[in-house]
Amino acid sequence: MRGENVFRRMVRLGLVLLLLSGGWSPQPLLQERPAPSTHLKVGDPAPDFTLPDQNNRPVRLSDFRGKKNVVLAFYVLAFTGG
């Protein structure tokens, strides 16, 4: 029973120290999130952007303007181990 009291005191002390040190703060929860960018509708032209190709050379979407079809493939979890 005495061991439980010591453990509870240590947990409480740890939580108080964590709160006082700023280890947990509600501030990020209260911050205003940036407004979402303008969403495109189906059929809207895509905005121009630049991404590296497989050889790390920059490629712009506008480089493909006038071509019949352009396929964009995004591998969100590539190289993340997820």
Greater confidence (80 vs 12) lies with 12
Question: pLDDT value at position 58?
Answer: 94
Provide the domain count of the chain: 1
Q: Which domain holds residue 60?
A: 47-76
pTM over 0.95? The answer is no
Q: For CA atoms 46, 49, 52, 58, give the dihedral sign.
A: positive
Matching residue, tokens 């006082």: 20
Return the number of other C-beta atoms located less than 10 Å from residue 9's C-beta. 10
31 domain residue, yes or no: no
d(CA 72, CA 60): 12
> One-letter amino acid identity for 82?
G
Tens of pLDDT, residues 20-37 = 776 555 555 556 666 666
Question: pLDDT value at position 66?
Answer: 86
61 domain residue, yes or no: yes
Question: pLDDT value at position 55?
Answer: 92
